[in-house]
Amino acid sequence: AQSVTQLGSHVSVSEGALVLLRCNYSSSVPPYLFWYVQYPNQGLQLLLKYTSAATLVKGINGFEAEFKKSETSFHLTKPSAHMSDAAEYFCAVSDRNTGFQKLVFGTGTRLLVSP
Amino acid sequence: DAGVIQSPRHEVTEMGQEVTLRCKPISGHDYLFWYRQTMMRGLELLIYFNNNVPIDDSGMPEDRFSAKMPNASFSTLKIQPSEPRDSAVYFCASSPLVSGVDTEAFFGQGTRLTVV
């Protein structure tokens, strides 16, 4: 069964600093990978997704992620953090066997941005 | 479109009572999902429907949980009887029937359930 592991339940950065949120996946077949963001008291919003096209995926709000098969990773980055990026971020995986709609989420990483 | 609409936003109930959570998916979406979010277990898929038919309910924790989708614009998740360990945020999401590379699940704002 597929799964994702997010390293670090909390990540703190200063405004303007690089954001790096880590995600490693486990899947027996080529996966689809997703990053979602959750703002306080809100539902989840899709940031970006990898579906076996380009390995570097660009998303909304300046975020991007790179699929690295050799490292089974899909880390999320943003060159310069903004205060409005403070939220919880979830990595998720699905695969062609179970259907792309059936997402398995990681435990989430809370991003804290200080002035 | 107003997005996925869930009601109520907050529910506090006593142990043993029946709880019904409601969801209106985005019009035209063929898939509907119910997720549960807790501190201990994170986000778990409980059940999902395709064209109002339950496809996979393997995530439903116990027989106390049931979900229905009587038509394309409405779904319910019922817990009977409720227990304190059911306290969580329950999300509904919907997605259209498109090819895999174009799919996206749209989430509602969730229902925060507290069972005391």
DSSP state of A44: E
Of A32, A53, A105, the CB nearest to B43: A105
Over 80: is that where the pLDDT of A26 sits?
yes
Least confident of B19-33, B47-61, B86-100: B86-100
Model confidence over B1-46: pLDDT tens digits? 689 999 999 999 999 999 999 999 999 998 999 999 998 888 999 9
Nearest residue in A to B102, CA atom:
A51
* Secondary structure of chain B in HEC code, one letter for each residue: CCCCEEECCEEEECCCCCEEEEEECCCCCCEEEEEEEECCCEEEEEEEEECCEEEECCCCCCCCEEEEEEECCEEEEEECCCCHHHCEEEEEEEECCCCHHHCCCEECCCEEEEEC
Does the beta-carbon distance from A43 to B104 stay under 8 Å?
no
CA neighbours within 13 Å on the CB side: how many for A11? 24
Over 80: is that where the pLDDT of A78 sits?
yes
At residue A91, the pLDDT reads 95
Residue B45 near chain A (CB below 8 Å): yes
Residue B104 near chain A (CB below 8 Å): yes
At residue A37, the pLDDT reads 96
Averaged over A22-38, what is the pLDDT? Answer: 89
